[in-house]
Structure 1
């Protein structure tokens, strides 16, 4: 992505569940934040149970507002 200013790092456990997703708003689980970003950005898989999202500061602020988010309650 040419104009990406922010790299959001993601880590998964061996079961494939997201255990870390950077830049998550307070009170939002890593998996819910990952799901929200996945609905809005392409995910770039990396080796070793990792991945990354690339975005701009402006889009990150919009995503952090969680506009249109459908968070799952467990």
Structure 2
């Protein structure tokens, strides 16, 4: 079975706060979505140079995380 992978990109300000992150559910700030992902899927995070980082997830994992984050966004 072929699984589709998704890469979620995060960009950080010089002070370490998240200013942009992809696949963010409506109602969550970039920082709140990053914190949620770090808590639930921190093992798939990779820090990159230049104030950036990525989470590597399957489509199914991303869907489940977005559903779990929905109550936090409300």
Q: TM-score, normalised by structure 2?
A: 0.82
Which position in structure 2 is the counterpart of 1:44? Answer: 46
Compare the two structures and name the one with the higher strand fraction.
Answer: 2
Long gaps (5+) in structure 1: none
Matching of residue 29 in structure 1 with residue 29 in structure 2: yes
Which position in structure 2 is the counterpart of 1:6? Answer: 6
Q: CA offsets, 1:22-70, max 9 Å, x none?
A: 1000111000000010012222000000000000000100110135x76
Long gaps (5+) in structure 2: none
Paired residues, number? 69
Q: TM-score, normalised by structure 1?
A: 0.82
Is the Cα–Cα contact under 8 Å of residues 13 and 19 in structure 1 kept in the other structure?
yes
Compare the two structures and name the one with the higher helix fraction.
Answer: 2
